[in-house]
Amino acid sequence: MIKTKKQGSLIIISGTTCAGKGTVIKKLLERHNDIVLSVSYTSRPKREHEIDGVDYYFVTREEFEEKIKNDEFLEYAKVHYGDYYGTPKKEIIKQLDTGKDVILEIDVQGAKQIKEKFPETILIFIMAPSMEEVKRRIKLRGDENNEQIVERFRHAYQEINQVTNYNYVVVNDDLQDSVAKVEAILISEKLRVDRIEEIAVENEEEIIHEFLMDKEFDNTKRVIE
């Protein structure tokens, strides 16, 4: 009777540094073949372990700025050390039109830009249990100096102050539980009334008449013990 919209959902997952949002996303992709992760463009140099087209699309600064002129991004920003990061428009719209849900792993500024253009976007913020836990996870990585760590903390506090702009917040103190919560969010979003495209209902009087005439519904007989 109810036909829902085929269009996929655009999902933004943001989070503080070392909150584990990347791991949550990885688990979601492993468990759901109807969810895809958007690959962003960046002008920063490719790191040794990274793969072009998988981690990012790596382009020169000049190529990135040309794409800006051609309006090829849903959002973009110039971040640390002057590097560009941007979310491609064409690829995402194509995936959404096929009914797939698309996840964007971007920061709060990018999320704000996209939410303004696409109000139906689902915003989910992943948080670590505490800043002490963030500190512990950063130390375990051991690949940043003190200045970089301080900058990460400063940026994390700024992002936390923007959390009220999101639809949902998930505290990632247990990975499996966090993944289950995000899955529950996505299920509930698909059940929203505004996703209904069409309701097919036959003539009301005919339905009631057929229902009452159904022999299996005949309640005129009574069993006398």
The average pLDDT across 50-73 equals 95
Pinpoint the alpha helices (H) of 32-145: 61-69, 89-97, 108-117, 131-141
For residues 142 and 79, what is the distance between their CA atoms, to the nearest angstrom?
Answer: 22
Q: What is the 3-state secondary structure (H, E, C) of 149-216?
A: HHHHHHHHHHHHCCHHHCCEEEECCCHHHHHHHHHHHHHHHHCCHHHEEEECCCCHHHHHHHHHHCHH
3-state secondary structure at position 129: coil
Inform me whether the pLDDT recorded for 216 exceeds 60.
no
When pLDDT is cut at 50, 70 and 90, the band that residue 156 belongs to is: confident
Inform me whether the pLDDT recorded for 199 exceeds 70.
no
**Residue 89, C-beta contacts closer than 8 angstroms, at least 6 positions apart:** 71, 72, 73, 74
For residues 209 and 187, what is the distance between their CA atoms, to the nearest angstrom?
Answer: 36
Domains of the chain: 2-203 (3.40.50.300)
3-state secondary structure at position 63: helix
**Candidate ranges 71-80, 114-123, 192-201; pick with highest mean pLDDT:** 114-123
Inform me whether the pLDDT recorded for 19 exceeds 80.
yes
The average pLDDT across 23-39 equals 95
> Which pLDDT score is estimated for 88?
94
Tell which residue, 116, 98, 120, 100, has the closest CA to residue 108. 116
CA angle 175, 180, 185 (to 5 degrees): 125
The average pLDDT across 184-209 equals 74
3-state secondary structure at position 62: helix
Inform me whether the pLDDT recorded for 35 exceeds 90.
yes
3-state secondary structure at position 73: strand
Tell which residue, 103, 61, 51, 59, has the closest CA to residue 82. 61
When pLDDT is cut at 50, 70 and 90, the band that residue 224 belongs to is: very low
Lowest mean pLDDT among 21-35, 55-69, 85-99, 152-166: 152-166
Contact 126, 11 (CB under 8 A): no
